[in-house]
Chain A
Amino acid sequence: MTARVSVDEGRCVGSGDCALAAPEAFEVDDDRALARVLPGADSADPADLRRAAHTCPTMAITLLPEG
């Protein structure tokens, strides 16, 4: 199953937890101190994506089921 992944930039504090939990789906832009969703994130390991969303300290990550 794939998921549509998004980051709320107003909430994100650039903790980098998402990039640690799901490096194939997220990276952090340190110039803006914000997480960025990588191309192909939607088809990353769902367990990694759930862990990234769950560990985000500001609940900035949303996963919506696709299809």
Chain B
Amino acid sequence: MKRIQSSNRLVQWIDDRLPIFSYADSNVIAYPTPKNLSYWWNYGSIAGIVLVIMLVTGIFLAMNYQPHADVAFASVERIVRDVNYGWLLRYLHMNGASMFFIVVYIHMFRGLYFGSYKAPREILWMVGVTIYVAMMATAFMGYVLPWGQMSFWGATVITNLFSAIPLIGDYIVTWIWGGFSVDVPTINRFFVWHYLLPMILVMLVVVHLWALHVHKSSNPLGIDIKTPQDMMPFHPFYTIKDLYGLGLFMIFFMYFVFFQPNFFGEADNYIPANPMVTPPHIMPEWYFLPFYAILRAVPDKLGGVVVMFAGVLILYVLPWLDTSRVRSATFRPIYKQLFWIFLADCIYLGYLGSQPAEGANLWLGRAATLYYFLHFMVLMPLVGKLEKPKPLPSSIFEEVSKKCRAKED
């Protein structure tokens, strides 16, 4: 870390003892960033800001929420009706969860397309996958807290996944519930986890950024930074670019908050939890749908659970499944096609997850699930070896200059 020299004596005095100004300078201000980042590189910072919005709205919601099965539903309704701006806090938080997943999914698929997970950024990627898993756990438990019908039955179904574990499954589920069904102890502990996990998420984000700042951001060309000419300072160039992207994103986010606050929700969750009646169509939140489709594709209880978790966990070994040394799909003619097919497969799985699992859907779900794993376990290792990549540009600087000259002409 380069120590700054400030003309302000107070700044200098503090910095000599606790180098926060030098730290900020090295990591945010002068931080060298590749010159050629596209708007696909905005989503990391947007995800960070959504996390902050979720934390702040969540903390203020928690000041009025009561995690007890008897009053949880009513306390959420009270937040919406009686608490000053409670409706705004809740709708920001509810839609914020969906926004968080939209942004993180774009961020992840960006990584998939441009090979951001490849050496030397494997651990950066794996920390990212851990963040994603923690997000899913947090979102699931948050969805349980309003204690509507979907909350209750979602909690029942998801916790019952663990009953598939041989021999001790039933004990595990009882242990998770703190009783013999989803009830008072369950909502109490879910509230605690829902408050605790985001704090762990923040720490994981710090580790993610730490790993990021070792080898810096990848870039659309997927080639290494070679000279200082390949880079420019983060501030003001990328702070402004990130702010602009954030502005556009916030317009999108606020549209839902103010005009379609229940767009991503389920009407049934406005019916208080009833342990005696399951709603006719129970469905997880949209961001879990692809994995829900995978779960249902396997006609075996334990098998379905294992395959579903494998669908998430396979991302951890992605850096070793991809055998190509070229990062960006721009220079990989075959992988580029496969990327789009894979994206379509994920979206299709999500669609199937929202449909009743019967008739043709059952077989289509199995085909889409098979392709999901085929992509990772067969196509990625094979294509990396067989495909002939296009020649890579020699440097970021050269490519950026070429583009600038083309624009001037």
Q: Do A and B interact? A: no
Question: Could you list which residues of chain A lie within 8 angstroms of chain B, going by C-beta atoms?
Answer: none
